[in-house]
């Protein structure tokens, strides 16, 4: 008997918004012997597509994110050549992936990349796609909004594995491993990914924790926070506002005058000497 893979069509209804809409999506249907599922959706962006070159394309990938660099589960590539150039665009995609590779305990991201003929990134977008337990859900429609690729984006690929795990996957370096922990020189601390100014030596102090600690940020607005409920604790996560790199956490047991303690992973920072930052 010839084997026909049974295919489940999923139309997801998520908007690209990292914090707001993490609706749950079901990939598994026990009542049928599904081998593959299909995600259909749209990639939207403002601006014009790189259509002049035959090699310009959209790549949509389903990626597994563990505590390492993401691993591709499925991908589809769409040539852009012969599309029309307008001030905004909508591209339709269809991605087929093997259910055998999906596991509700892992996290998955759908990523869209638009490259021009020289293989340079022009637009990027990510959509977290949580997988739930085996139960059915109504069909929805999926939209990834892509944004123009910022100049710092290529730095992510150049990070060493630890800096990658901490900044991109929310990991933590081991205490007392960063040489910046004991650094007392006057200067500024910038983001390792996008070089945004985050902290100053003026506000650095010895917290005894083993991680570089500051009682305030250098430039208001350059550092943003989120509630973090991982590991059964409620903590306030700290990230770079510009590139969203995870930096560490902030606690309210710091010294005067703010009584705050920004507990920052040294691998997320770059230090620049600057005598103006003398206390």
Ligand X SMILES: *[C@@H]1O[C@H](CO)[C@@H](O)[C@H](O)[C@H]1NC(C)=O
List interacting residues with ligand X (CB under 6 A): 8, 29, 31-32, 45-46, 82, 136, 145-147, 188, 190, 195, 197, 272
Q: How far is the CB of 6 from Zn ion (least distance, A)?
A: 44
Q: Give the residue among 182, 258, 273 at the shortest CA–CA distance from 220.
A: 258
Query: Which window, 42-50, 96-104, 121-129, 242-250, contacts Zn ion (CB under 5 A)?
Result: 242-250
Query: Which window, 23-31, 200-208, 229-237, 243-251, contacts Zn ion (CB under 5 A)?
Result: 243-251
Applying CB under 5 A, does 194 fall inside the site for Zn ion? yes
Q: How far is the CB of 19 from ligand X (least distance, A)?
A: 15
Under a CB-based contact definition with an 8 Å cutoff, are residues 114 and 125 in contact? no
Query: For Zn ion, which is the closer residue by CB, 58 or 192?
Result: 192
Q: Give the residue among 144, 152, 147, 179 at the shortest CA–CA distance from 168.
A: 152
Applying CB under 5 A, does 264 fall inside the site for Zn ion? no
Query: For ligand X, which is the closer residue by CB, 198 or 260?
Result: 198
Q: How far is the CB of 236 from Zn ion (least distance, A)?
A: 18
Taking the C-alpha atoms of 269, 273, 277 and 279 in order, what is their torsion angle to the nearest 10 degrees? 100
- Give the C-alpha separation, 237 to 132, whole Å: 25
Task: Please report, for the chain, how many H helices and E strands are present, in that order.
Answer: 2, 18
The structure tokens 């905004």 sit at: 88
Q: Is position 263 annotated as part of the catalytic site? A: yes
Query: For ligand X, which is the closer residue by CB, 142 or 146?
Result: 146
Applying CB under 5 A, does 247 fall inside the site for Zn ion? no
Per DSSP, 5 falls in state P
Applying CB under 5 A, does 218 fall inside the site for Zn ion? no
In sign, the C-alpha dihedral spanning 197, 65, 127, 24 is negative
Between the alpha carbon of residue 273 and those of residues 187, 190, 195, 269, 270, the distances in Å are 4, 11, 14, 13, 10
Residue 82 token pair: 């012969």
Query: Which of 191, 240, 243, 263 is labelled catalytic?
Result: 263
Q: How far is the CB of 256 from ligand X (least distance, A)?
A: 28
Query: For ligand X, which is the closer residue by CB, 69 or 140?
Result: 140
Query: Which window, 36-44, 112-120, 210-218, 233-241, contacts Zn ion (CB under 5 A)?
Result: 233-241
Q: Give the residue among 104, 112, 105 at the shortest CA–CA distance from 14.
A: 112
Q: How far is the CB of 89 from ligand X (least distance, A)?
A: 10
Applying CB under 5 A, does 238 fall inside the site for Zn ion? no
Residue 266 token pair: 């040294």
- Give the C-alpha separation, 82 to 104, whole Å: 39
What does 243 interact with, of Zn ion, ligand X, none (CB < 5 to 8 A by kind)? Answer: Zn ion
Binding region for Zn ion (CB under 5 A) = 191, 193-194, 196, 240, 242-243, 245
Q: Which residues are catalytic, by number?
A: 263
């Amino acid at each position: 008997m010839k084997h026909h893979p049974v295919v489940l069509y999923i139309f997801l209804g998520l908007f690209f918004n990292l914090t707001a809409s993490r609706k749950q999506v079901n990939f598994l249907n026990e009542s049928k012997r599904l081998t593959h599922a299909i995600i259909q959706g749209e990639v939207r962006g403002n601006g014009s597509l790189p259509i002049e070159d035959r090699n310009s394309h959209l790549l949509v990938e389903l990626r597994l994110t563990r505590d390492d660099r993401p691993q591709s589960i499925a991908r589809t590539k769409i040539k852009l050549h012969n599309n029309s150039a307008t001030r905004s665009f909508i591209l339709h995609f269809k991605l087929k992936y093997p259910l055998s590779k999906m596991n509700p305990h892992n996290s998955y991201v759908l990523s869209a990349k638009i490259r021009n003929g020289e293989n340079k990134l022009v637009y990027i977008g990510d959509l977290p796609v949580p997988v739930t337990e085996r139960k059915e859900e109504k069909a929805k429609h999926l939209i990834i909004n892509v944004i123009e690729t910022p100049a710092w984006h290529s730095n992510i690929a150049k990070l060493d594995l630890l800096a990658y795990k901490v900044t991109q996957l929310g990991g933590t370096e081991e205490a007392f491993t960063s040489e910046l922990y004991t650094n007392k020189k006057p200067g500024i601390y910038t983001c390792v990914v996008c070089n945004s100014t985050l902290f100053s030596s003026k506000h650095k102090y010895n917290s005894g924790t083993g991680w570089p600690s500051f009682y305030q940020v250098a430039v208001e607005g350059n550092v943003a926070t989120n509630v973090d409920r991982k590991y059964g604790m409620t903590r306030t996560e700290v990230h770079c506002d510009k590139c969203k790199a995870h930096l560490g956490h902030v606690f309210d047991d710091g010294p005067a005058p703010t009584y705050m303690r920004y507990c920052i992973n040294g691998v997320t920072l770059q230090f620049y000497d600057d005598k103006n930052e003398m206390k």
